[in-house]
């Protein structure tokens, strides 16, 4: 008899777990959906985009900014080029900024006339802070290590 009582009690407890509880109507909609959201990094001028990308390239390939040529192309992409001193090999890259993140891709990575490679970011993320006479750069690698420098430009 006690077994029947326990099973009945357990059944009553379990059945009450899913009972409906009345709650007041709450509006969870976002009232700010039409509002403009202020980003922390304003859009760069063409001149500053070239400065940031040139500094970023110098930072990534350990060169001086004086040895890097840069020009703005369609879609606010900066085309960068430099010649390696050791063997005279010419390298070309594209650079773009998204907020305070720089992305790079090598041109003709798989050989002459093969076109641009993929955008960087799989192994590291390069962020920047633009200063009046310099650019602070920080590379955060997927293994947890990082590198940083301030490039005068």
User: What mean pLDDT is predicted for residues 64-85?
Assistant: 94
The string of pLDDT tens digits covering residues 44-68 is: 999 999 999 999 999 998 899 999 9
Q: E strands of 1-153, at which residues? A: 69-73, 77-83, 90-98, 101-106, 124-130, 134-141, 146-152
Q: What is the mean pLDDT of the chain?
A: 79
Query: What's the whole-model pTM score?
Result: 0.70
The string of pLDDT tens digits covering residues 62-72 is: 899 999 999 99
Which pLDDT belongs to residue 53? 98
Report residue 38's pLDDT band, with 50, 70 and 90 as the boundaries. Answer: very low
């Amino acid at each position: 008899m006690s077994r029947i009582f326990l099973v009945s009690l357990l059944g009553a407890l379990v059945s009450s777990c899913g009972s409906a509880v009345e709650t007041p109507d709450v509006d969870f909609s976002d009232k700010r959906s039409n509002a403009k959201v202020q980003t922390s990094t304003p859009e760069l001028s063409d001149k500053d985009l070239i400065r940031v990308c040139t500094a970023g390239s110098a930072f990534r390939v350990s060169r001086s900014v004086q040895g890097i040529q840069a020009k703005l192309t369609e879609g606010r992409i900066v085309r960068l080029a430099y010649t390696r001193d050791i063997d005279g090999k010419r390298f070309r890259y594209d650079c773009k900024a998204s907020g305070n993140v720089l992305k790079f891709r090598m041109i003709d990575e798989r050989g002459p006339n093969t076109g641009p490679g993929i955008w960087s970011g799989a192994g590291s993320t390069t962020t920047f802070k633009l200063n009046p006479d310099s650019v602070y750069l920080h590379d955060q690698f997927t293994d947890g290590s990082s590198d940083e420098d301030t490039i005068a430009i």
